[in-house]
Amino acid sequence: KPSEEVSRCVVTPMVAWERRDRLKVLDATWYMPNTAEGSRRFVRLLESRVFDIDAIKDTESSLPHMLPRSRDDFASFARRLAIHPRDEILVYSANGFVGAAR
């Protein structure tokens, strides 16, 4: 059985549909660079915004794809995606990979 925390964070398609008027949907699909998949974007959910981890990643970290250390950097990136502090956000990944989980 999922924990209470996971239950709050993971929603079914029906719940997402019911909340569609107040959700900001982010496509966090990620592919390995220099692959056929990585060279193009696939069809996304309607009105979703691309959450490109490589555009926001912490370039000083020795680990790949880490979120920025600065709250201001993250806030600036969120504003470019028209995301505001009180928005509900749904993040998905089209390829079943870890992009959305990050």
Residue 67 lies in a domain: yes
Q: Round the average pLDDT of the chain to a whole number and report it.
A: 80
Run of H or E including 54: helix 53-56
Global pTM? 0.73
What Å distances lie between residue 8 and 16, 38, 75, 81, CA to CA? 12, 31, 23, 23
Residue 8 lies in a domain: no
Residue 5 predicted with pLDDT over 60: yes
Q: Which residues contact 58 (CB under 8 A, 6 or more apart)?
A: 66, 67, 68, 69
CATH (domain of 85): 3.40.250.10
Residue 101 lies in a domain: no
Q: What is the pLDDT of residues 15-39, one digit of tens each?
A: 888 988 888 998 888 777 776 665 5
Our measurement of the distance from residue 2's CA atom to the centroid of its chain's CA atoms, rounded to an integer in Å, reads 21
Residue 33 lies in a domain: yes
Residue 98 lies in a domain: no
